[in-house]
Amino acid sequence: MALSQTNGNLLRTRILPVNTNDLGNFKDRQTLETWELPGDQSSLEPLREAALHLRKSNIPVGFPTETVYGLGADATRSDAVKGIYKAKGRPSDNPLIIHVCDLTMLRSLVKPSGQVNGNVESTDPIPAIYTPLIKEFWPGPLTILLPNPQPSKLAPEVTAGLPTFGARMTDSPLALSLIRLAGVPLAAPSANASTKPSPTTAEHVKHDLEGKIEIILDGGACQVGVESTVVDGLCDPPVVLRPGGVSINRIRECEGWSGVVKGYKDHSELGLNTPRAPGMKYKHYSPKAKVVLFEAASQRDTQAGRGMKWGIPLEAWKLVKAKEEKISYLGLENSEWPINVGIVTTKHWLPFAGFHLAKWSRNGNDGCLHVGRREELETSNSDEHIADLIEISLGSKTTDIAHSLFSALRELDQRGVDIIYVEGIEDKADIAAAVMNRLRKAATVIEQ
């Protein structure tokens, strides 16, 4: 078990299972004003322990949302927020998203400290532009940018010097009850080591942060699989700063948002001094292995997967020749053998899909890697093991791909692959935009 020393104390990371059957509900689902704890609170014991830890400690807690696992700390205390940056190894100019349990808590943050509550209907501090989005998508995978009042109740490290802060209300009863028990909003980025694939299970969090945090609440695998969509309605036209679990097309259907535009890039925006939203500035979502992304099948020869006509002419990879319809030979120069290759497929158009890297043969001074179906390779004359192929299929539905993407990248990393080839999907304006945004940020090489 990994241990590390912080302020002279050894940390032991524990995963606390949570019974998610009944963890609370809204007093009025239409208004989202108040999140109430359940009558039978026996299932809340792990959450009570975590909430006490959040109030008294500066070490963050891992917990699940419907998107990915978050790393939460008291958003009102600087030392606690600094604990997030330390545990993740996250750059301090990357702002954090605030999670609230209900609109009552959110309104208390938007109002300047010390302001007396007025009539909510006439003095609602939440800008009216967000009312349609809150009604349609909250609780859910949507983050809204709000003005940060002065004086502010939030620790300055949360905003990284920006005049705004991002807030969301997750559709996770576990997370909402944890926030209610803690009594404070939680600053919570994804609970992974900085730049690594986002975690969608408690074990993913433990793999990245063991010895750096003490508590991980285990509420099972996350449903969505990619982070929340981030929008800014304080500018004209409003913009989507980060694609995520809510598509831009659905946002455009809401009153006042028909003209919303894309305000993000799919690659790291290194020219920005301070990003307006998380995930904009730095290389992100990357496993240890080199990632090669192939853009959507609609942009390529869709017959490539049938006859292995073109192989992968990438950097050191060199197409040597094709044999019959089912086997191609690929030469790989200046590499040490054997190698492990990971393949992440969606619609099985990649030339490797359904094939296996297995054998090495020599033709004079040139070496060739056989790529073919296993039964054919087993009957070939060459018997030198040169490479292994590990293939993970995410299916063809965009929601399934989003749900499983980060988990697949992590699995291939844990299985020690040297290079990962990923099949892209058509970059539509739904959650596919979020999937491709994450993949382009993770990729070392992108093949058009």
Residue 334: inside a domain: yes
Greater confidence (299 vs 422) lies with 422
50 and 147 in one domain? Answer: yes
Residue 375 φ then ψ, to 5°: -65, -30
Tell whether the torsion through CA atoms of 196, 401, 341 and 291 is positive or negative. Answer: negative
Q: Three-state DSSP class for 332?
A: strand
Q: What is the CATH number of the domain that holds 205?
A: 3.90.870.10
Which two tokens mark 213? Answer: 């945090």
Greater confidence (286 vs 385) lies with 286
236 and 156 in one domain? Answer: yes
Do residues 352 and 387 lie in contact, with contact meaning Cβ atoms separated by under 8 Å?
no
Question: For 246-268, what is each residue's pLDDT tens digit?
Answer: 999 999 999 999 999 998 877 65
Q: Is the confidence at residue 396, as pLDDT, over 70? A: yes
Residue 84: inside a domain: yes
pLDDT confidence tier of residue 326, bands split at 50, 70 and 90? very low
312 and 225 in one domain? Answer: no
244 and 301 in one domain? Answer: no
246 and 350 in one domain? Answer: no
Residue 14: inside a domain: yes
309 and 415 in one domain? Answer: yes
Residue 59: inside a domain: yes
Residue 269: inside a domain: no
36 and 172 in one domain? Answer: yes
Q: Which residues contact 158 (CB under 8 A, 6 or more apart)?
A: 75, 81, 95, 96, 98, 165, 187
Q: What is the CATH number of the domain that holds 342?
A: 3.40.50.11030
Residue 49: inside a domain: yes
pLDDT confidence tier of residue 387, bands split at 50, 70 and 90? low
Q: Is the confidence at residue 311, as pLDDT, over 50? A: no
257 and 336 in one domain? Answer: no
257 and 311 in one domain? Answer: no
Q: Is the confidence at residue 386, as pLDDT, over 80? A: no
Domain end call among 262, 280, 302: 262
User: What rounded mean pLDDT belongs to the chain?
Assistant: 79
Residue 361 to residue 353: CA distance in whole angstroms:
22
Residue 198 to residue 196: CA distance in whole angstroms:
6
Residue 279: inside a domain: no
Residue 175 φ then ψ, to 5°: -65, -40
Residue 152: inside a domain: yes
Count the domains in the chain: 2
- Domain of 416? 290-447
Greater confidence (394 vs 297) lies with 394
